[in-house]
Structures are given as structure tokens and as C-alpha cells.
Amino acid sequence: MSVIDLLHKRISVRAFLDKPVTEQTVRDLLDTARWSPSGGNVQPWKVIVVSGAARDAVIQEAAVALQRNPQGEAGEYPIYPSGLQEPYRSRRAQMGEDMYALMGISREDKAARMQALQRNFQFFGAPVGVFMVIDRAMGHGQWAHMGMFMQSFALAAEEQGLATCMQEAWAMVRDTLHAHFQLPAEEMVYCGIALGYADPEAAVNGLRTARAPVEAFAEFRGF
Ligand SMILES: Cc1cc2nc3c(=O)[nH]c(=O)nc-3n(C[C@H](O)[C@H](O)[C@H](O)COP(=O)(O)O)c2cc1C
């Protein structure tokens, strides 16, 4: 499939089949994603891949941490900037509304929304979880480069018939993950990626998010 086709095909999948993904498959995806560009070829990414018992252990620890602190750990920075302005605010709200509507969860049903959020911490049933780890010394640029790696990984997975969901939600248990993986002080978990085979029956996987048209974000000069 062409890169353009893959870009159009990739979506965030939030329900996975109970079908394993081999270590070799993940290694191959990482082997592709490592060719992502990064400023100065710094390659600021590190990853921790969990499956089987290691995956279950993370899920278990996250559950305990969230039971203790349902709002999540304080974190080093908010997942979204506080007071998100337009047009970003409406886009985020729309995506949430559409997702919960597909899941049959009403705006008022806070408990069901909370339950749906909790599925993040089970990788939405995916057999593999990938944690993106970055050195705290890295700046804005290197964080962006990490994103390039993640998109490459997602597209490579898509080509193999696999599906992904990137998961910043894991930042809610960042301290717990740091301790769990015994990371050195200078490293931190940025984001998770759920990886597996999409459940074609799950309504939530029918979500197709919109994008602003080119005119809304691009300025052309000198043509
Ligand atoms: C870095 C990153 C982190 C994300 N974190 C989450 C998350 O924690 N939970 C979730 O359900 N979706 C998460 N998403 C998925 C976004 O909601 C999704 O990409 C967006 O709504 C666009 O939809 P699409 O991926 O289906 O095109 C994340 C996406 C990115 C790029």
C-alpha cells in the first residue's frame, strides 16, 4: 500500500482482538520506524515493549495507582494546555462526543465515560504495549522528533495489517511507570502505543475523525 493510502487508512483503534503479535513483528516495526528523521540525527527515542506477563504487570500496577488516585498523578506537564483555546477546544470536544456516541455513552454518564477512559490502561485489549521514553534533557524539537518515530511506527504497523492507538493517557500514571520500569532519573515515559489487530465488530472502531481543510492551516506566499 502506498504511504498516502496508509496515511488515509490509519486510525486510532480502541478495541483489539485477543490475537497475539510476535516479538519479531514488533522488532521489524521498530526496525522500520528507526529510519524516521530527527534533527541532527539525535534519534531521541527509546522504547519499552510489553507483552504477556510484562503487559499484565503494567496493567495491574496502573489499576492500583488509579484506584489510589483516580485523577491521575500530578505529572510534569498537563496532557493538554490548560484553557485550550479555539479552534482546538471544539475539535477535541467533537472527537470526544463522536467517540462516546458510538459507544452509546451519553454526555451525562460520567461513570461510563470514566470506565471508557480506564480502557486506556488495558491497552484497549491490545496484546502489545509500546512505551515511548525520552530523556528529560531533551527540548521541544526532540519531542517533535519522537512524534515522527511514532507516526512511522503506526504506518508500518498499518501496512502489516496491524492497528495502533497512541496513548498519552499513560501520563496519568507516569510516576508509577517510572518506578515500574526502574527508569533512571533523567528518563521519562512520554506516551504509550497500543498495538494489535483491530476488532472489526467494535463500534468504537467505526470512529472517523475529521480534519480541518488545508485552507484552515496553510498560508501560501510567492506562488
Ligand atoms: C500522541 C498522541 C496521543 C494520544 N493519546 C490518546 C489516548 O491516550 N487515548 C486515546 O483514546 N486516544 C489517544 N490519541 C488518539 C487521538 O485521539 C486521535 O489520534 C485523534 O482523535 C485523531 O483520530 P485518528 O487517530 O483516528 O485519526 C492520541 C493521539 C496521539 C497522536
Nearest protein CA to atom 6 of ligand 1, as residue: 167
pLDDT at 78: 86
Which residue among 9, 165, 193, 211 is best mutated to probe the pocket of ligand 1, counting the most ligand atoms within 8 A of its Cβ? 165
Is residue 183 over pLDDT 90? Answer: yes
Mean pLDDT value of segment 170-181: 97
Residue 12 Cβ inside 6 Å of ligand 1? The answer reads yes
3-77+121-208: CATH class: alpha beta
180 ligand 1 Cβ < 6 A = no
Mean pLDDT of 95-99: 96
CB distance 211 to 158 below 8 Å: no
- pLDDT at position 77: 85
- Please tell me the predicted confidence (pLDDT) of residue 159: 98
Mean pLDDT of the chain: 96
β-sheet with 46-51: strand ranges across: 46-51, 128-135, 187-196, 163-167
Under a CB-based contact definition with an 8 Å cutoff, are residues 205 and 15 in contact? Answer: yes
Say what the pLDDT of residue 158 is: 98
Task: Kindly list the domain boundaries of the chain, sorted by start residue.
Answer: 3-77+121-208
Alpha carbons 148 and 102: distance in angstroms, whole number = 29
Indicate whether residue 31 lines ligand 1 (CB < 6 A): no
Per residue in 19-68, pLDDT (tens digit) is 999 999 999 999 999 999 999 999 999 999 999 999 999 999 999 999 99
DSSP state for residue 119 in the 8-state scheme: G
Is 76 a residue whose pLDDT tops 90?
Answer: no
pTM more than 0.75:
yes
Q: Which residues pair with 134 in a beta bridge?
A: 188
Q: Is 94 in the pocket of ligand 1 (CB under 6 A)?
A: no
99-138: pLDDT as tens digits = 999 999 998 999 999 999 999 999 999 999 999 999 999 9
pLDDT for residue 217: 97
| Gap from CA of 139 to ligand 1 centroid (Å) | 22
Task: Tell me which of 22 and 81 has the higher pLDDT.
Answer: 22
Torsion of CA 93, 112, 129, 201, to 10 degrees: -90
User: Which phi and psi angles does 222 have, rounded to 5°?
Assistant: 80, 10
Tell me the average pLDDT across 143-169. Answer: 98
Task: Write down the pLDDT at residue 74.
Answer: 83
